[in-house]
Amino acid sequence: MTRYQDDIDAIQALKDRNGSPWHAIDPEAAARMRAQNRFRTGLEIAQYTADIMRRDMAEYDADSSVYTQSLGVWHGFIGQQKLISIKKHLKTTDKRYLYLSGWMVAALRSEFGPLPDQSMHEKTAVPALIEELYTFLRQADARELDLLFTQLDAARAAGDETGAEFIQSQIDDYETHVVPIIADIDAGFGNPEATYLLAKKMIAAGACAIQIENQVSDEKQCGHQDGKVTVPHEDFLAKINAVRYAFLELGIDNGIIVARTDSLGAGLTQKLAVTQHPGDLGDQYNSFLDVEEIAEGDLAGGDVVIKRDGRLLRPKRLASNLYRFRAGTGEERVVLDCITSLRNGADLLWIETEKPHVEQIAGMVDAIRAEIPDAKLVYNNSPSFNWTLNFRQQAYDALAELGEDMSGYDRDRLMSVEYDDTELARQADEKIRTFQRDGSARAGIFHHLITLPTYHTAALSTDDLAKGYFGDEGMLAYVKGVQRREIRGGIATVKHQNMAGSDLGDNHKEYFAGDAALKAGGQHNTMNQFS
């Protein structure tokens, strides 16, 4: 017996018990609707996807070649189409997730309009997008299963028992489009209580993994911009605890917390850490401050000083009332941040870097793993990096170190198209192609994501269409550049009425009203041109 058949039998028994008032109910139709709505709540999704992520983390620990990936999405339809494409081309969603980017929420989903990535958007926009994404993924399940049910009915009507049995096996073994979402909660949108309240909303919407960063909430900056300000460890750990309590309250005992450190690019702190004795966590945080030694008689009104080893040290304070860290301490602070986060409730790490360089990342991870051997990263393969220039410069430096003649290259101009067909460019592109594999093997990267890819692809594809359509190509720009490619590529959106649920709705109408149903999918439906 299968779950599908079990549901048919259970609904048939229920129909029998209720007698004639239920005469119009078709048990198989009801079982189909159940199959198309596997997840009834966001918490069911959060638990299902948390289990997937925990399994994937354990598999990565055993074999670093089985890393995971995601692309950032900013709308439910974009996330849905991504998963449909993955299933079409790769036949499984295994090890493929979604990433919810706070940057794209700020830039594209705020009621204020486009905003910089500074936590100024409505915090409720984040759980709303999680719910929207899972609504579209569940609709992808319903639509795909509806197509299978239609094929099953056709095979039965034709007396094709073998075909019907094959289609039934596809229904029984159906793989859902619902996958884990790693969701960005920024710096928590306020104090730990605010973080807890927002985390609950995100988890209830379906999030199994929440990423939180160690910047201050009221001065939060994009990870690849200047002016980043971190908080003392105790402040950050309180927010990690707040997220864990939210998971536990809602019964997701294995929810995942991704602790992000921005310390590599953050040169400022808003306040000094509290310290009780030399060498404690607060003292270690303060030890990275840029200070000057002063005598007691040099103290001025309003001065803040630290006493260490019998000396008075005055942290250098800016006009903004922020304190500066010593230059060159970023990597040490990252390592301390990561070890501290993992020892205090985080499950995965995120190190925000200024460039994609495997050995730079690996150097920090090696130091972290000396203390916590199974430390794992989520890494941002960011569009903020100039990947072409970075990897061509890395290839240039590697060749120069081998003693190769580099006189034919200008290291500062390697982005130029004139280098596209050179051996250096080919080596750089190969390193880009294998970056995720290499990073997972060498630098402990469990999950690779691109934060903003669909922001860029939407702009690029729109630019291509606008250029041709409003130019000399006219309608050919759409037909050749979009529709013909959809048809030949088997892209489901070519039947946009079907994608929006028209056929699904027709079947429901027939369930509800039988032969009296007024359906949209008749012989005059223009979507039949794409059959």
Catalytic annotation, residues: 222
Matching residue, tokens 């996958």: 179
The beta-strand segments (E) located in 110-249 are: 181-184, 209-213, 229-230
Distance CA 299, CA 118 (A): 36
> How does strand 268-269 pair with strand 229-230?
parallel
Distance CA 248, CA 253 (A): 5
What are the C-alpha distances in Å from 505 to residues 79, 139, 173, 529? 22, 12, 24, 20
Nearest CA to 385 among 453, 459, 447? 453
Other residues' Cβ atoms within 10 Å of the Cβ of residue 235: 20
Task: Give the contacts of 153 (CB within 8 A, at least 6 positions apart).
Answer: none
Distance CA 161, CA 386 (A): 56
Q: Give the side-chain half-sphere CA count within 13 A for 488.
A: 7
By the 10 Å C-beta count (0-12 exposed, 13-18 middle, 19+ buried), 228 is classed as buried
Other residues' Cβ atoms within 10 Å of the Cβ of residue 430: 12
Q: Tokens for 134?
A: 């899972």
Task: Give the contacts of 154 (CB within 8 A, at least 6 positions apart).
Answer: none
Count Cβ neighbours within 10 Å for each residue of 283-312 and write b for 16 or more, e otherwise: bbbbbbbebeeeeeeeeeeeeebbeeeeeb
Distance CA 368, CA 362 (A): 10
Q: Tokens for 444?
A: 């402990």
